[in-house]
Chains A and B, each alone.
Chain A
Amino acid sequence: QVQLVESGGGVVQPGRSLRLSCAASGFTFSTYGMHWVRQAPGKGLEWVAAIIYDGTNEFYADSVKGRFTISRDNPKNTVYLQMSSLRVEDTAVYYCARDSRDCSSIDCSQFPLANWFDPWGQGTRVTVSS
């Protein structure tokens, strides 16, 4: 079955960096876009970043643009979120989620992402605190 497993969370001081990983299994990773979504403690969901199936295009929320970088390694079936210049307000559970568009069976040259998320990983917690 489709599985997404995040790792790399932890406690980090403001201004430092952290890299999250999301290992995928149970599907052809290289034909799907991937997303990161976060949830601050007791709050709602916030989309963070997306990357298309072949890694050639990325999208970011304004709140993380210039500080976070999404990337992927298709042979390793893994998507990453490199987080730099971390702030207290980046404290959250970070979920990776698969995009719903399978580019193996349709032409994704114009619209490589469906932009809804299914499934989600279980999340990894990031705490930014001095």
Chain B
Amino acid sequence: EIVLTQSPATLSLSPGERATLSCRASQSVTSYLAWYQQKPGQAPRLLIYLASKRATGIPARFSGSGSGTDFTLTISSLEPEDFAVYYCQQHRNWPLTFGGGTKVEIK
């Protein structure tokens, strides 16, 4: 099973600041990595797939990068609605696995 480790667990930032979230895989997933956003009481929403492709309707301030074992989700300038929990997920091998999440909170 591929283990995904997200860091940091919590990121405290102000609106307008840049957020950089990390996801590290226990073995290479090449580019088969997705990112999701989850707000309290809501279902997750797909942001990024294949490491760097933005899903339909996702603002350009969200970007993904990386390959192999190290991946990054960047939010260029935080909007109030971006404060949420973010999960990475590898979609290369069975079983599909998620990281433990990074909470982006208002500083």
List A residues at the B interface (Cβ < 8 Å): 35, 37, 44-47, 50, 59-62, 95, 100, 114-123
Contacts and interface: CB of A to CB of B under 8 A. Distances in A.
Given A47-B96, A47-B98, A61-B95, 16 more contacts: A45-B38, A95-B43, A95-B44, A100-B46, A100-B49, A114-B91, A115-B96, A116-B49, A116-B89, A117-B34, A117-B36, A117-B46, A117-B89, A118-B46, A118-B49, A119-B43
Contacts of A95: 43-44
B87 to A, nearest CB: 6
Secondary structure at the B interface, as helix, strand, loop or mixed, is loop
A62 B97 CA distance: 12
B64 to A, nearest CB: 12
A44 B99 contact: yes
Contacts of B55: 118
Interface in B32-61: 32, 34, 36, 38, 42-46, 49, 55
B91 A45 contact: no
A115 B46 contact: no
Nearest to A99: B91
Interface in B1-48: 1, 32, 34, 36, 38, 42-46
A44 B101 contact: yes
Nearest to A47: B96
Q: Which 5 A-B pairs have the closest CB atoms?
A: A115-B91, A118-B46, A120-B43, A47-B96, A116-B34
A9 to B, nearest CB: 14
28 contacts: A35-B96, A37-B44, A44-B98, A44-B101, A45-B38, A45-B44, A45-B98, A45-B101, A46-B98, A50-B96, A59-B94, A59-B95, A60-B95, A62-B1, A62-B95, A95-B43, A100-B49, A115-B32, A115-B91, A116-B46, A116-B89, A117-B34, A117-B44, A117-B46, A117-B89, A118-B55, A120-B45, A123-B43
